[in-house]
Chain A
Amino acid sequence: MIGQFNETSALPKYTPGFIILMLSMLLNAILFTFWTKDAFVLGDKNKLPADGQLRSAECYDSAFSSLEGTLRMDKNSTKSEFKAIQIRQDLNNKLNNLAQLNKDQIQVDEAVDAKSSSLTELDLACTQQSENQPVEKQAEKQKANLQITLLKMILKEDKRLIKYLTLYAVLGFITSPIGFLFLSIEEASKGSSYNFSELAGCVIMSQAFVESFFFFILPYANKLMSRIHRVMLILILLSIRSVYYSTFYYTSGASLYWAALAECAQGVTFAVYTTLNAELSLMFSNLTTSFIPRLRQLGVIGDPSAIGDEQARKEEASVDTALRASLQSSFGTALEGLGYGLGCLACGLVYDSYGHINMWRMMAVVTLLAFALHLLVELSQSKYSDLYRARRRSLVIPVTIVTCYDKPELEQDCH
């Protein structure tokens, strides 16, 4: 059975794999070209907030996983946002009244003295126009780079984006030794009775089965575990795996097939961080709708009274979907690009110089450090934490982290 395709087909070696690639991509492209357009709509216009209102003013995201994002302001700052808008509108009205009074006064002066050298209405308008020009240019620039403007706003308001990007880079670093695992198993199985191909096959199959199983049950499991619990789970599993490989696996004389059990950790980890990636990218990209009033103030998007309701809704919808793909790719880039690339480099260097056991020791140290750092960030309830409290900044005892199943009482906690 092995190699049967090569013996029976007239195709050169390995080409059927690329035939499968090209055919599957073509078929996928055909499906996406001719499927109903309803399947590709991003965002939902019915979910956008009504004009002038901010998104729901929860002071922090709930401990349960949620695909709805909220801006992490406490209730008082939400009120102050409204106040700021009102104050701004009042000031504008007063300035307009003053300008009108000035205009009247100027007309009276002109009527009295035809050779008056005071500012004419045209000069006033030109002055105002030249003062407005830098503001208008900035608004146009921000409109042209809407994605970057919104990303800066999100980074300013919700520091968790930095935390999760760093976490994904570290996870990419920690999960990079998978290729070196097979190298080290091959080294260990040389001169022994183990068949490397069977061993490698067992390891891959256990990973794939556990991964599939966890992808299937995660929608239920996510209702019981918060994001903090899920990150703790994967860091604990990865540290157990690294410690096992660096201590007992190669030295205790036990069967090398135990790697199949250890790699179940990799399967669980992959399932958890892939679904977490999807959830986080949607959560952060949904925050953009909370910035709509601020964007109106800056002139990046138009007011419904100036440009009409339909145009305003279109601009709001574009803000809603402005960062969907960018954030989805950012976590994947941190994981598979930066983290994985640096991890492979580091693992290769250590493997060549100090051997595979020291490589696993390095990974164990990095994983345990990442776990400790994550716990510290969450316990401190800083702005990087999922348990950020704007007012109460006290140390939380570990029990709260472990048993935070209760949905927060928003009315009581937002003080």
Chain B
Amino acid sequence: MASIVILYYLHYILIASGISSAFSLLGVTIHEYTDASQGEIGLLLMSLPFVITVARPYFCYLADKHAAHRRYFIASLICIVITYLPMFAIPFFPSFYPNHGRVSWWIMVLVSIVGTATIEVALSLGDTLAVNAADRTNSAFGRMRTCGTLSWGIVCSRIGFALV
């Protein structure tokens, strides 16, 4: 039983630290490595909640339909890694993004939309598994979630200091 609970503590620490570092740097990365204006970046960030509205319930419905929550969750984590590779790789080509600012911008748009959708799906599926594990083992879901918040706060603040 303890091994079940430990997994979800680790899950929230990892997922919160990953998401906090990405979300806090999304806007500044797009501004740094594309030729987009503040208005365009604002429009992109504004559209992300509506992408979540469509993607999240649909993929969670599919996970329920196929009764494959764990597989969908692992697949969404791997999709996050693959999706954010371009955003990670573009800065390594200093000859590319100054000369092809628009192409770089559209790549970042695609990465942001698909990446945000997969992150939210992963969060929902992770929460489903964690809540059910808490229910079965009679442990407190709030304590598992605390790890996520602490991890978010620590990583977010360190990232802000170390990188900006």
Contacts and interface: CB of A to CB of B under 8 A. Distances in A.
Given A208-B152, A215-B146, A275-B145, A28 B11 contact: yes
Interface stretch (A4-12, A79-87, A366-374): A4-12
Given A13-B163, A336-B52, A328 B32 contact: no
Contacts of A212: 146, 149-150, 153
B99 interface: no
A321 B64 contact: yes
Interface stretch (A112-120, A341-349, A392-400): A341-349
A248 interface: no
A361 interface: no
A239 B7 CA distance: 38
A20 interface: yes
A4 B56 contact: no
A21 B21 contact: yes
Nearest to A339: B49
Interface size of B as a range: 35 or more
A329 B84 contact: no
Nearest to B65: A147
Given A333-B52, A344-B49, A19 B88 contact: yes
Nearest to B78: A29
Interface in A281-317: 281-282
Contacts, number: 241
Nearest to A272: B142
B74 to A, nearest CB: 5
B85 to A, nearest CB: 8
A218 B145 CA distance: 11
Given A17-B25, A25-B18, A216 B159 contact: no
B14 to A, nearest CB: 4
A325 B64 CA distance: 6
Interface string B101-133: 000000000000000000011111101110111
A140 to B, nearest CB: 15
Interface of A: 1-6, 12-29, 31-33, 35-36, 38-44, 67, 146-147, 201, 204-205, 208-209, 211-212, 215-216, 218-219, 271, 274-275, 277-278, 281-282, 318, 321-326, 328-330, 332-333, 336-338, 340-341, 344-345, 348
Given A13-B32, A32-B7, 13 more contacts: A18-B29, A25-B15, A29-B74, A31-B10, A31-B14, A147-B65, A208-B149, A216-B143, A325-B60, A325-B124, A332-B123, A333-B56, A337-B56
